[in-house]
Amino acid sequence: YKKIVKGTDVPIIPAYLGGAWGSILSYRWGKMLSTTPKRFRYPLSIEFGKPISNKTEPFALRQIVRELSCNDFLPEKQIHKTLMHAFIKKARRHPLRPVMTDANTNLNNIKLLTASFFMAKKIEGKTAGQEKVGILLPASCGGAIANLAISLLGKVPVNLNFTGSPESVQHAIDACDIKLILTSRLFIKKLDAFKSLDNLFYLEDLRKNIKPLEKPIAMLKALFLPTLLIGPLRKQT
């Protein structure tokens, strides 16, 4: 573009074309025309930015176009299902496929989904009226289950950075208005600085007072509950 505007004082108007990526004429699926159409119609949109100087460097211009692409994607949230619903569909298609492991646990799709429904039921009352729920756990099966359980309730999981300072974690808690933090006694023992946080809920307590039918009901939900009845099907803009 610099060669085109060289010697002129005309501005550059950034523009982003949205909707073309994913069609059979794009390279999303490999070569062009290498797959059948996923949709019959692909709605296109164009986002225009404010005029900028033609002396703007390429990196800065690319950043502006990227921001326009984010604005263009916002309405797409009404079309695409949430990550949680995509996982449920995949898990039900391959229920026995191994999906996750850590030092103490091996999970296939249906075990992971069942555990998530079980945890969601257990924490539902404690998270009532809350939009966001904190998680203070390492990358583990327990952390993944906690994220899915919170999503099943239609809430936003906020994974707190335990490698940061207590002040930065507290700032995140205040900024997100978090009233409940899911963690583990075994894990929190290693983090002396975070023991003083308010509203900690230990996952070990979920094993207390388990009713005989709770786990079978969680498995039935994991296998058969319609996704239309599970949390918000699509995130609102």
For the chain, give the mean pLDDT: 89
Beta strand 181-183 pairing with 200-202: parallel
State what percent of residues in the chain have pLDDT above 90. Answer: 62
* pLDDT for 75 beyond 80: no
In sequence order, what are the residues at sequence separation of 6 or more whose Cβ sits closer than 8 angstroms to the Cβ of residue 65?
14, 15, 16, 49
Q: According to the model, what pLDDT value does residue 231 have?
A: 67
Provide the token pair at 85. 């619903």
* pLDDT for 79 beyond 70: no
In the chain, where does the domain assigned CATH 3.40.50.980 lie? Answer: 83-229
Name residue 211's amino acid. Answer: K
CB 223 within 8 A of CB 205: no
pLDDT band of residue 228 (cuts 50, 70, 90) is confident
Beta strand 45-48 pairing with 15-18: antiparallel
* pLDDT for 185 beyond 80: yes
Q: According to the model, what pLDDT value does residue 232 have?
A: 62
* pLDDT for 124 beyond 50: yes
Number of H helices, E strands in the chain: 8, 8
DSSP string, 176-226: HT---EEE-HHHHTT-GGGTT-SSEEEGGGGGTT--TTHHHHHHHHHHHS-
Q: Which of 130, 138, 139 is nearest to 157 (CA)?
A: 130
CA distance 49 to 228: 37
In the beta sheet, which residues pair with residue 105? none
* pLDDT for 85 beyond 90: no
Say whether 120 sits in a helix, a strand or coil: helix
Q: According to the model, what pLDDT value does residue 40 have?
A: 74
pLDDT band of residue 236 (cuts 50, 70, 90) is very low
The CATH number of 83-229 is 3.40.50.980
Q: What is the pTM of this model?
A: 0.72
- pLDDT tens for each residue of 18-57: 877 777 777 777 787 777 777 777 788 899 999 999 999 9
- pLDDT tens for each residue of 154-184: 999 999 999 989 899 999 999 999 999 999 9
* pLDDT for 118 beyond 60: yes
Q: According to the model, what pLDDT value does residue 237 have?
A: 36
In the beta sheet, which residues pair with residue 220? none
Q: According to the model, what pLDDT value does residue 18 have?
A: 86
Say whether 145 sits in a helix, a strand or coil: helix
In sequence order, what are the residues at sequence separation of 6 or more whose Cβ sits closer than 8 angstroms to the Cβ of residue 232?
82, 154
